[in-house]
Amino acid sequence: MTVRMRHTRSHTNNRRSHHALSGISVVKDKESEALRLPHRIDETTGMYRGRLIATPKIKKERTKAEKYEHATHTHNEPVAEKEISKKSKVVGKHEHSSTPKTRNDV
């Protein structure tokens, strides 16, 4: 098999001239004055070319209690003894030693 001939710098650069990146064109919406891509629905209003296409995305305002309801917890809840014994067992090891189980010990 023959070795391919090397391309000159100008040949390589001419090929690479088509690899240039172009800038993103962004338009300002007439009604909401928000920036968006051309030929796309405005997400804040749901309008496209003066017509309502989709329902607008509106975030619901949450109260302070709703924001922190996931963080409420109590430290004084009693834990059942069965749950403690389940958590203390280590899977794959003997109960009273730190050596791992072998295939014969199953």
Query: Tens digit of pLDDT for each residue in 51-70?
Result: 999 988 777 788 888 877 77
Average pLDDT over residues 70-81: 65
pLDDT band at 91, cuts 50/70/90? low
Residue 87 tokens, joined: 């958590």
- The answer to whether position 37 is within a domain reads yes
Domain that holds residue 37: 24-58
Number of independent structural domains in the chain: 1
Q: Does pTM top 0.85 for this prediction?
A: no
- The answer to whether position 8 is within a domain reads no
- The answer to whether position 99 is within a domain reads no
Query: Tens digit of pLDDT for each residue in 79-88?
Result: 666 555 555 5
3-state helix, strand, coil in the chain (%, to 5): 25, 10, 65
- The answer to whether position 65 is within a domain reads no
Average pLDDT over residues 2-9: 89
Q: Contact 56/44 with Cβ under 8 angstroms?
A: yes
- The answer to whether position 42 is within a domain reads yes
